[in-house]
Amino acid sequence: MRACCPARPSQRGPALTAPHCSRRIAPPLNRPGFWQALGDQAPTYISGIVTKGMAKPLTVQGTRYMGLVMVPVAGTTDEELAAITSWVLADLGQSAQSVTPDQIAAMRASTTTQNDLKAMRPTEE
């Protein structure tokens, strides 16, 4: 398993995902089984999380996360979010999926809700 926050793909990626390196604050993202179980939905799911945020109770590997809300990652361009989310899927998720700037833009403009996103999650990972 690679490090949680290597200095790639841009300086902003590790800074933005840093809360996820402390598992008490946010769920770990380096869970290949989770990303692979999402399959074709993985780009939609992660695009939704970074543009819509997440504040629903989530249980990840036996730990319940609901104390801290993940806010949408404001002030970050579609290109940056595509690079960061693609890095999460490829490096931390060992997934074949990637995210394009157009997918981020489409999700920003969509009416997808946090409940819609939560419904996509595989519950066992």
Q: Is 38 in the site for ligand HEM (CB under 6 A)?
A: no
Which residue's CB is nearer to ligand HEM, number 67 or number 109? 67
Q: Which stretch binds ligand HEM (CB under 6 A): 3-11, 82-90, 99-107?
A: 82-90
Among 4, 21, 37, 73, which residue sits at the site for ligand HEM (rule: CB under 6 A)? 73
Number of H helices, E strands in the chain: 6, 2
Six token digits for residue 85: 């989310």
- C-alpha distances in angstroms, 125 versus 28, 30, 82? 11, 11, 23
Q: Is 14 in the site for ligand HEM (CB under 6 A)?
A: no
Q: How far apart are the first and last CA of the chain?
A: 16
Separation CA 22–CA 71 (nearest Å): 17
* Binding positions for ligand HEM, rule: CB under 6 A: 16-17, 19-20, 26-27, 29, 46, 49-50, 54-56, 58, 60, 65-66, 68, 70, 73, 84-85, 88, 121
